[in-house]
Structures are given as structure tokens and as C-alpha cells.
Amino acid sequence: MEIHHIVGGAGRKDLPSGGNFILLCGRCHHAVHARLPLLGEIPKGSVLWAKEEEDGEVDVTELANLRHRKELAYDKRAIPDTFLAERDRHGGDPWP
């Protein structure tokens, strides 16, 4: 498992709530940062979806404040089916 900072970049910060990071397998972490040949990519909005599924409500205003912004440049969106199927093939728990 690898730690992915939801709002990254120079001087990124961790929030006391833990709201700025999520644990991802290495393959999914790579797919957030780059496109995988057979699976595609995981959009930033899907990371918000996954974080909410794991931890409950995500404070997107708090995350945007880390970049001194009022809102994030992307909205929450469903995780691509290709990654859900891959998780299922490898014995991961299905997401609700």
C-alpha cells in the first residue's frame, strides 16, 4: 500500500484529520499519476469518491484551502469500471 496525497504539489500538507491522504495499492497509485496501458487512468475526482467510500464525508473545502483556493478544480466522480473489475479479480473487497 502507498500513501497518496489528494492535494499534492510543493509544500503539500497533511491535515490533522487525515483528510488529505488515502492508501492505494501501487498499481492504482500509479494510475492516478499516469495512464496504465490496459486500464487507463484514475481521475482525481475518483480519488475523492474512494476517500468518501472509505472514510465518510470528504471536506473538499478544507482540501481546496491547502492550495489557497475556494474549491477544487474537479468534482467527485465514480471510479472507472476497469479498476473496479481489476480489484475484484485480485480478491479485493467490492465497494458499495
The per-residue pLDDT for range 32-41, each reduced to its tens digit, is: 999 999 899 9
CB count in 10 Å sphere of residue 63: 20
Determine the pLDDT at residue 10.
63
Three-state DSSP state, 22: strand
Determine the pLDDT at residue 18.
86
- Enumerate residues 6+ apart whose C-beta is below 8 A from 54: 22
Mean pLDDT across the chain: 89
